[in-house]
Structure 1
Amino acid sequence: MVNFEMEIKKINPINIKEMELNRYKINDDIKKSIILYNSAIGEIKKSNFELAVNDLKKALSYNKGFSDAIKLIGLCYVSMKQYRNAEKVFKKLKKYAIYDSLANDYIQSLKIKSSRGRNVNNMDVINHINSDIWNEYSTKPKRSTGKIIMIILSIVIIMGGIAMNYFYPKFIQIAMAKVPIETQEFLNKLSINNKLIVKQEEVDKDQNKVGDSLEENMVNLESSEKAKIDSEDQKIKNDSYKNNILGMLNDAEKSIGDGKYEMAAEDLINLKNENFDNDTKVKYDKLWQDLKIRGIWPIYNDGNKLYKQKKYAEALPKLKMTSQIDSDIDIMPWLMYQIGICYKETNDYSNALTYFRQVKDKYPKTEYASYADYSMKEMGN
């Protein structure tokens, strides 16, 4: 059987920086999903499973194939004892080949865990008393079969006669006088029991009123506390997000200093559309300017060399990166034409047409406009 507590403890945050060192580029949405995933792990350590689930669902909205997030949602539901929700999530997890076997183990262990958690309801106290009373009389030594029959008939007659009490009170009194003493004792105890039930119901009703009032106060208190927690959590998330951005800027600064201009360009381009505070914006702009001065030509020269060697697929990202670093570079007409050719030679005709048209529209008086027009005709446009 799977130890779900240990499964959660084994979960570790994802190191975005390390991933970026090993990959060419990480999509912005994937970065956001990882940040939210790491935030959820922080909530889990504080046992805030509901907040963790909310963060993980947001992470999935940015990255629907984030199987680790799906797995962690299921584990959170187990910790919250929401076993049905957990089972649904684990069934979704089975769709991913890497987790198929583990998801099956989770589901089987979950069935065992949920079955152990079921409690058998206790018998009602009053019913228990009634049972004791009946047993008291049913286990007494039997005097004769006729006596038993007489007791049963007496009970039926008396219970039926209650309805007649209002109209024939004297008749009922005579009949009761002839009922065996043991039966009268049983009925008297039963009557007392019924009164106890009514009294207990009144007590329960009063307790429910008090309970409802306390519950309402608790809900109000919890709402206030939750609002406070949400505010604090949002601040933590904002701080975490800012720290990640500052970390990427520090990496970009180091890359520029080490002459790793493409790596720096990737970080800065990925952060281009983020909302910075004033201090962060100043640092970002300074790094961008440093990259334009020191890095743009080394990146372009590498791309141009590959272009001349007709290694268009390798040249394309370097040439595009050059155009993104400085959209006003003096070789822009030629650069855009080169990018168009790279797309054309890699059979991406849609993007090729886009760049050729931009050359014609933005730089109609240059020789590259006529080159672009010729290339478009070659493509049948």
Structure 2
Amino acid sequence: MRRMTGLLSLALLAPLSSLAWLGCQAIAGIEDRTFDPGSSDTGGGQAPVSEQCASYCADVMESCTGEHQVYATLATCQGVCALLPAGDPLEPVGNTVACRARQAELAGATGEVGVHCRAAGPGGNGECGSNCESYCALRAAACTLEVATEEECVAMCAGLKEVDTFDVIENHDGDTLQCRLVHVSSATVDPEEHCPHASLTPVQPCGDPAGTTPSCEDFCRAAMTSCTGDLAVYESRTQCLLVCLALPPGTTEDRTENTVGCRKYHAYSAMLAPTTHCPHTGPGGDGHCGADEPGSGVTGNCVSYCTLFEAACKPTLGEAYEGWGAACQDECSAMTGAAHDSGYSVASAEGGDTVACRLLHVSRAFENPDECAALADGIACQ
């Protein structure tokens, strides 16, 4: 539908003057996708195109078209090709031009474009290097890395959502790795415009539309990738998902609300600054996702704890919950670690009469109902 809409828009704009059309392109950021097999255009200022890149780009632009098009322009293909290792045409494997060239040839020879074009594109799609490996290598070469090393970039990239397509139109926007690959490819020609779009953290157009309800799958993928070791805030992906489902979802625009949307924002931010943001990603929100209310005794951590306790334990405790649940906020607010910036992590929450300990045990209660009685009786955290 988006492709048809785009074609209709082009038809409606045809009567306009060429100057007006160029102005619209500049405003919308639309790239000219016309491919001339005989063109030697290198995008203005790029180094001369190697024979290998000229051959590869001619093949991939000819064979991978329509919904399988993997480069917006010939210059973009040539820009990406120039930054990839050449590889060995006799052994076309790995994150190399040789591997992609072979996949482009196969796409043309077999007609199986759905199989071969994604591998022939900038990401490699697991056939010619992993998408994360390729993204980080291109990001390092065309822009700058946001983390210390390519290896760290690849590790954080695992927290990004992947989709089972690669098409420069359909994947031009959206909070996916594929969108970032589209824009890091374009950054080889226009880094000022496209490097920001290719960030690890979501930057439009590689972000969710306004008002999007966050997915627990997406949140937990990011949180479990960003916050590990001593900074881990969930003991397992399952625990993260169960806690997430018990919290208000909010939207992906949330930054301070006690919602999944806010925690997702901090999970992404933790890719770049884990020590700062991992506690905000945890079950309590640490006063950054759910602010304290000065003078009222209500704190974000306690609102989160009581919300989770009700969701996990009310069905198990039955009538016993009613008396305990009513006092939850008051009792929690008097405990150590109730206020913001408690620095929650699984490692620091074991033991002690603290809110952090209770947040850990209530997170476990979704899978182990015995935790509920221990929390209600006060013996879980002593």
Tell whether the structures are fold-level matches, with TM greater than 0.5. Answer: no
Q: TM range, normalised to the smaller chain? A: under 0.3
**Which is higher, the Rg of structure 1 or of structure 2?**
1
TM-score by length of 2: 0.26
Q: TM-score, structure 1 length as denominator?
A: 0.26
